[in-house]
A and B are shown apart, each in its own frame.
Chain A
Amino acid sequence: MELFKFFGRSGGGSKDIAKDRLQLLLIHDRANVSPQFLEMMRGDLIDVISDYIEIDESGLDIKLTRTKRERDGATVPALVANIPIRKMKEKIR
């Protein structure tokens, strides 16, 4: 996809602002949830995961997006969490 590459090669103009604003907007549009709801979920996820893994909380990224379902290629909503791991917690294992 040469075209994509070409269009991807851009500086740091106002489009990054547009993209960031849009992504934030869509989280709420798609899920119909409040920022507080996401914040609560985020907190709970951190709590659970931290029992097993030491994670980098500042690098945690949780978002509502869409993905293709493998079975039939239909687009479905998805909760995507990117959780950087510092190290596994040996004691519990």
Chain B
Amino acid sequence: MGEVIVITSGKGGVGKTTTTANIGTGLALEGKSVVLLDADIGLRNLDVVMGLENRIVYDLVDVVEKTCRLKQGLIKDKRFPNLFLMPAAQTKDKSAVTPEQMMELTKNLAEEFDYVLVDSPAGIEQGFKNAIAGASRSIVVTTPEVSAVRDADRIIGLLEANDLKNPQLLINRIKLEMVKRGDMMNIDDIVDILAIDLLGVVPDDEQIVISTNRGEPAIVDGRSLAGQAYKNIVKRILGDNLPFMSLDTDEGLIAKIARVFGFVKK
């Protein structure tokens, strides 16, 4: 029986879909069988981020309504050995499925796959309730902004009220330079405030825009900062007790360079 993980945030635009795509691809690269489930009915995007938008025939609603079989609703990502996408419907809305149907769907998928990653829509209404329905584990994505952290806090409360204990935090788009200046909340600040376990930190990285343009998750070409950060996150999901290293090393490097050029005293 596989694990169903929901990726959620409350606020829109903080990187849920990018995170789902990268973590899912990363798990597949580590040899796991993975299905990415786009629960954002009416505003689907996971297919685009994955570069699979031209291969959609059936979608999640078709599967739930039994217009097609479960397997027909899955798109195989040919670039990776064991990665599949179940796209959301684009012309329906969140009320097209119920939490009970989602529970059944994720349960069926978990029988076939090691990991079922559910990309939640923004908000706390029906779409969110659908997305968390079958999950046993949750990842809360936030950015270092007041509005995003506030919404993350609300979501954490709702997850816990729905028996999803111990949600894990992913801080996205941190800007090292701004943190250094004291103009952006740092990791400690955010972890202090939200008081949940930290899963990982992803730096703000232009490479994410480029990889989204191409439809290939940044983790595939792991040379970018964000790609490396996602690699570490994947390892932690798999149970590696990895220290928060990649950023640290890079920071060490930046600091070193800065010192060489005399920007930093010491």
Contact = CB atoms under 8 A, between A and B. Distances in A.
Given A4-B187, A10-B181, 15 more contacts: A3-B187, A3-B243, A3-B251, A8-B188, A10-B179, A10-B180, A10-B186, A15-B182, A15-B186, A18-B145, A22-B149, A26-B150, A29-B154, A66-B194, A74-B166
Interface in B170-216: 179-189, 193-196, 201
Interface in A1-26: 1-4, 6-8, 10-16, 18-19, 21-23, 25-26
Contact of A19 (B165, B179, B185): B185
A49 to B, nearest CB: 26
Interface of A: 1-4, 6-8, 10-16, 18-19, 21-23, 25-26, 29-30, 65-68, 72-75
A3 B149 CA distance: 20
Nearest to B165: A74
A48 to B, nearest CB: 27
Interface residues of B, number: 33
Given A22-B146, A30-B157, A75-B195, A11 B182 contact: yes
A13 B182 contact: yes
Interface centre among A6, A7, A16 (most CB of B within 10 A): A7
A29 to B, nearest CB: 6
Contact of A7 (B145, B157, B179): B179
A7 B186 contact: yes
Interface string B69-102: 0000000000000000000000000000000000
Nearest to B145: A18
A11 B20 CA distance: 34
Interface in B149-163: 149-150, 153-154, 156-157, 160
B247 interface: yes
Nearest to A12: B182
